[in-house]
C-alpha cells in the first residue's frame, strides 16, 4: 500500500517540479514525456534509494525492483506520517541536488530534440471553486474524498456536496456545473471558517471568477 502511495506522490511532485522548472515553455505532452523519463524508469529512484542509504537496509536481498520499491514505500510512509508539506520539502531537497545527474546528464538526442520543439503558450487555466476544493482534498487526504448528489428543480439543478461531516447545498442553477461550483464555494467557506488558526490551509475563493448563470 505504501509503495503505491509513494509512487503517486513521487509522480505528483515530478509533475510540479518540471512545471516550475520549465513553466509554459513546454507543452503538456512534453511535460508528460519528461516526467516519464525522469521517474518512469528506475535509474533516478534507484539512485535515490542508494543516496538515502536504503541499500544497506535490505540485508543482502536482491532484485531489480527492490530498491526502487523500497524508496517509494519510504515516501509513502513519510506522506502518511507527516503529510503533503513534509514530503514536498523532502523531495525538493533531493531533486534540487540530483536533477542534473538523474535527468539532464542523461538526456538523449531524442529528448533534447523534443525539448527544442516550439510550443504554443497557453493561457493560465481559470480557477473554479471545484478546482480549489480538489486542491484542498489533495493536501488533506486523511479527510477522504468529497461527493456530489443532485436534485432537480423547476428552475434547474441543485447540487449537494458532502465532504467528511460537512455538507453544502447550492441554490437552484440552470446548469449542473454551475450548481456544483456554487456548492463547492460554500464548502470552501465552511472549511475556511473551521481553519481560522490555519487560514492558508484553505484556498481563498475571493480570487475565483464566479460562474455566471446561463
State the pairing for strand pair 156-163/146-153: antiparallel
- How far is 94 from 75, CA to CA, in rounded Å? 12
The model's pTM: 0.48
Give the total residue count for the chain: 214
Share of the chain above pLDDT 90, in %: 13
pLDDT at 19: 82
Q: Which domains does the chain have, with CATH numbers?
A: 2-116 (1.10.1520.10), 129-207 (3.30.160.20)
Task: State which residues of the chain have pLDDT below 50.
Answer: 120-124, 197-202, 205-214
pLDDT at 182: 93
Nearest-CA neighbor of 146 among 156, 159, 128? 159
- How far is 119 from 29, CA to CA, in rounded Å? 10
- How far is 3 from 12, CA to CA, in rounded Å? 14
pLDDT at 112: 63
Amino acid at each position: 500500500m505504501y509503495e503505491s502511495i509513494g509512487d503517486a506522490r513521487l509522480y505528483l511532485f515530478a509533475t510540479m517540479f518540471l512545471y516550475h522548472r520549465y513553466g509554459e515553455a513546454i507543452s503538456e505532452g512534453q511535460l508528460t514525456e519528461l516526467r516519464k523519463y525522469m521517474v518512469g524508469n528506475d535509474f533516478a529512484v534507484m539512485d535515490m534509494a542508494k543516496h538515502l542509504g536504503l541499500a544497506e537496509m535490505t540485508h543482502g536481498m536482491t532484485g531489480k525492483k527492490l530498491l526502487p520499491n523500497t524508496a517509494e514505500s519510504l515516501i509513502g510512509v513519510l506522506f502518511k506520517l507527516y503529510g503533503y508539506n513534509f514530503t514536498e520539502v523532502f523531495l525538493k531537497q533531493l531533486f534540487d541536488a540530483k536533477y542534473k545527474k538523474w535527468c539532464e546528464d542523461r538526456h538523449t538526442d531524442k529528448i533534447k530534440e523534443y525539448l527544442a520543439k516550439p510550443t504554443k503558450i497557453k493561457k493560465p487555466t481559470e480557477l473554479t471553486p471545484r478546482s480549489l476544493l480538489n486542491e484542498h482534498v489533495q493536501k488533506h487526504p486523511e479527510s477522504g474524498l468529497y461527493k456530489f448528489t443532485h436534485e432537480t428543480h423547476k428552475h434547474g439543478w441543485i447540487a449537494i456536496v458532502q465532504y467528511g461531516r460537512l455538507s453544502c447545498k447550492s441554490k437552484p442553477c440552470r446548469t449542473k456545473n454551475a450548481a456544483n461550483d456554487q456548492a463547492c464555494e460554500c464548502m470552501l467557506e465552511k472549511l475556511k471558517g473551521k481553519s481560522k488558526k490555519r487560514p492558508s490551509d484553505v484556498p481563498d475563493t475571493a480570487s475565483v471568477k464566479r460562474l455566471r448563470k446561463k
